[in-house]
Structure 1
Amino acid sequence: MTDLSELPLITNSLESTSRLQLLVLSNGHGEDIIAVRILQELQRLSSPPDIFALPIVGEGRAYQELNVPRIGAVQTMPSGGFIYMDSRQFMRDVRGGLVQLTWKQIQAIRCWVNCQTKLGNKKAILAVGDIVPLLFAAISGANYAFVGTAKSEYYVRDQDGLLTRRSKSVRWENFSGSIYHPWERWLMSRRRCRGVFPRDSLTTEILKKSQIRAFDLGNPMMDGLEPMLTNSKFYSADTEQEEIVRPLIVTLLPGSRANEAYANWEMIMTAVSGLITGWQERDMVFLGAIAPGLDGDILSQTLQIQGWQRCPQSPIQLADPDYLTFKQKNNYVILTQKAYGDCLHLGDLAIAMAGTATEQFIGLGKPAIAIPGKGPQYNPAFAEAQSRLLGSSLILVEQPIKITQVVRSLLNNPDLFNEIAENGVQRMGQPGAAKRIAECLQARLG
């Protein structure tokens, strides 16, 4: 990782007294959350900037929770932000006003940069996401920095070299020697681009070869995942015996996009039923990490249709007074919308049909089994790309019924668990990236 002590310090007396005004651009719900984590750390610094935001995709509710003022127009598009995965979704967004919205947003950014400010104040932009906010920042006329969340060299290579791919069309991804295309690297290499923060060490190493000011400070996606209830445990008086006989804990990650998540949940519960039937060596507890925006009643109905009964007592304590427990024989399903960190940390493995949540679970050093859905987000193409990004930590199965065989293979191979633990941390990084990036931003943009 880059040593922050090596970064240039601000010594000019005028600069040390001026106040930075920072506009954050992000293009998606996940990107909004990553941006907010960095902003929280910026606000904790001794001389925090004045912060503004423009969420390019969606309404940016994460910024509202931080009381960050918003500039420009915002609008939720029909695709929900997944236009790059499906041309039909893109055309729906165009018909929904995407072009007009984009033009208004560019005008708002330029107006913010060029409007009069107090003497000595500086303006800068932090772009979080992909080429869209990066391009908006580059044409703004202000200094800018870029947090690249969408691309990683792991999509095309690992430490041993380029990945073997079947389709000739995939050469397009790496035709110039990097997952970032020449025009993207050109935007990152401009004099006004004061810092680039890739999501992993391998990507940073490749970008530095193009004379880009890239800093290997980690991935903010791994911040803020601490369990809320640190003493969560099974009811048992003998800890050693408990570990030997305790149920297997499986975290369930259906995604956060409403209609898609409900369909994903049905597939996941089919896998759960098959796992219970086909592998009875151990009781199991399934932790459903449910996004706050989903309707828990719909998920509960799916459980009850498949024979799960509401249960007043739970085998695990979670930091959520409203979690629901269901039982079938000696197995449990627990649904929670408030104890996300607990679900990630307690799970031995995951059945996943999600984007960010799957990556975070694997970043904790644990294996995930993925079932490609029908999209628009978690479709076969997305799942295949995610498996390249996450390597041996993510195991794809074509049908839910095949999960039983994979779980059996995993549990009979302790060496593979150790390999997966190392791989996950290597690809997703250590916690604390948001603070490191905030300190670097203050030095580079101040």
Structure 2
Amino acid sequence: MPLAKKKRRRLLKVHAVPIASSGKKERKTVLFLSNGYAEDLIAASIIQKLANEVPEIKIKALPLVGEGKAYEPLRILILGPRKITPSAGFVGVNPFYLARDITSGWLGWFKDEMDVLRAERSLVDTVVCVGDVFLILLSSLFVKKPIVFLPTAKSDHAKGLKEHYRIEKWLIKRTCRLVLPRDELTAHSLQNFGVRAMFVGNVMMDCLKITGEDFGIEKNGYVVGILPGSKSDAYDNFPIILDAVVSIEKRASFSGRVHFLLALPASLSLEKLGGVASRNGEWKITETIPPRQESGLIAHLVSPQGPIIKIVGGKFGDLLNRSQVIVGLSGMGNEQAVGMGRPVVSFSGRGPQISWHFLQAQRELLAGAISIVKPEGEAVAEEVCSLLDDPKRRERLARMGKERMGGPGAAGRIAHLIKKEIEELINSLV
């Protein structure tokens, strides 16, 4: 047998992770690994529930992609260099993005993250991986502790586009004690492969908080929500959204009757977004006075042609709740909108995230509740107005989306299952 094959076989053997048996500790430690902004939010929701259910547990988090800001409100230790790469984690979309990451110093950051994982091997008892199989591979190689896996990136609903490959299922089966997929169909598929998998809900819907804020809009007014995305390519795609807003305003049946709410992620700059707007149609940005900021309204974008876009910071659940239709260039945000019964209009944009392939997979994933149109303002406006004009179609899409995404409550159920895994670990060491 060639030497390279022998080395590969020895490397794969570390994937079979036994229950730790190094001695009982008074306080168990759980490490959460995540590789994306959405994954950070999902992990943070579970951590909140887990900390309430098992207050004596020690929790750490290592965000492998980005700064991990979703973890900051939690009283936990956040590990790692916490750097933002040019690809924002979408290196699989195009080799060029990987090359940009490498030239920006990603290899050094990645080495630092692996050093953190090695150092945590003797300090943690269980690892919760939220994201894709790359996380469980790293965990089994460097941490070598029992793994609970939430595969957020893949689903059997997106046949041929986002379902798990056979080798991924094999790796999951070899490494994970418990797998909690995002839907029942994927759970059944993994179970048929011999994986200990179960579906208890989609945590994305637990990440939404609704307070009843109406943003000063009358009850019966048309509202279009805008999700520009949270990555840097949002600035490049924003002019198309602005053109769509102007086009909607010009239509006689909707002129002066549609309100626009834009969700501003913490990762985007209000000043830079305003600069893009001013160069595309002479939009002007005006910041709101502090009392209005309590409602989430932080600024207005005003066009000389009439329309006004209210910019909202936080209050994301309220924004979705108040909208009838969403113009979405988001990953998790689009899915949450559909889960709340709001149809989404999207288009393939510049940059690594909102590609044509990504949107095709997302449409399959969400039972067709996303409309994909040409990346032109007029095309976006036409589909938005068509949906606003057709409440029966909106209701049909809402039913489909809610059925596919499910309701809230999964974070608490998953926290309880993690607690049970920890209890089994403790019992095995007695």
The whole-number CA distance in structure 2 between the counterparts of 1:87 and 1:312 is 40
Q: Secondary structure at the match of 1:146?
A: strand
| Correspondence 1:361 to 2:345 | no
| Correspondence 1:112 to 2:115 | no
Q: Of residues 174, 180, 202 in structure 1, which corresponds to 2:185?
A: 202
Could you tell me whether the CA contact under 8 Å between 2:325 and 2:387 is conserved in 1? Answer: no
User: How many positions carry a matched residue from both structures?
Assistant: 395
Instruction: Give the deviation of 1:288 after TM superposition.
Output: 0.9
- Mean Cα displacement is larger for which, 18-27 or 100-109? 100-109
Q: Of residues 261, 285, 294 in structure 1, which corresponds to 2:268?
A: 294
Q: Secondary structure at the match of 1:203?
A: helix
Instruction: Give the deviation of 1:268 after TM superposition.
Output: 0.3
The whole-number CA distance in structure 2 between the counterparts of 1:92 and 1:366 is 36
| Correspondence 1:276 to 2:235 | no
| Correspondence 1:22 to 2:37 | no
Q: Secondary structure at the match of 2:84?
A: coil
The one-letter code matched in structure 1 to 2:184 is S
The one-letter code matched in structure 1 to 2:32 is V
Where does structure 2 lack aligned partners over 5 or more consecutive residues?
A: 1-22, 424-430
| Correspondence 1:265 to 2:238 | yes
TM-score (norm 2): 0.83
- Mean Cα displacement is larger for which, 405-414 or 50-59? 405-414
Where does structure 1 lack aligned partners over 5 or more consecutive residues?
A: 1-13, 116-121, 157-169, 236-241
| Correspondence 1:378 to 2:351 | no
Per-residue CA distance 1:105-164 (angstroms, 9 max, x = gap): 33432332235xxxxxx70101110011111222232111001111111211xxxxxxxx
Q: Of residues 205, 218, 243 in structure 2, which corresponds to 1:222?
A: 205
1:389–1:279 distance in 2 versus 1, CA, 3 Å: farther
In structure 2, the partner of 1:147 is: 150
In structure 2, the partner of 1:306 is: 281
The whole-number CA distance in structure 2 between the counterparts of 1:77 and 1:308 is 30
Instruction: Give the deviation of 1:74 after TM superposition.
Output: 4.4
TM-score (norm 1): 0.80
In structure 2, the partner of 1:184 is: 168
In structure 1, the partner of 2:95 is: 87
State percent identity of aligned pairs.
30
1:379–1:93 distance in 2 versus 1, CA, 3 Å: same
Q: Secondary structure at the match of 2:88?
A: coil
Instruction: Give the deviation of 1:346 after TM superposition.
Output: 0.5
| Correspondence 1:346 to 2:322 | yes
Q: How large is the Cα RMSD of the aligned pairs? A: 2.9
Instruction: Give the deviation of 1:363 after TM superposition.
Output: 1.1
The whole-number CA distance in structure 1 between the counterparts of 2:407 and 2:317 is 16
| Correspondence 1:285 to 2:262 | no
Could you tell me whether the CA contact under 8 Å between 1:110 and 1:141 is conserved in 2? Answer: no
The whole-number CA distance in structure 2 between the counterparts of 1:134 and 1:373 is 31
- Mean Cα displacement is larger for which, 50-59 or 321-330? 321-330
The whole-number CA distance in structure 1 between the counterparts of 2:377 and 2:303 is 21
Q: Secondary structure at the match of 1:114?
A: coil
| Correspondence 1:400 to 2:377 | yes
The one-letter code matched in structure 2 to 1:287 is L
Per-residue CA distance 1:203-246 (angstroms, 9 max, x = gap): 112111112111211111111322234465635xxxxxx63xx3
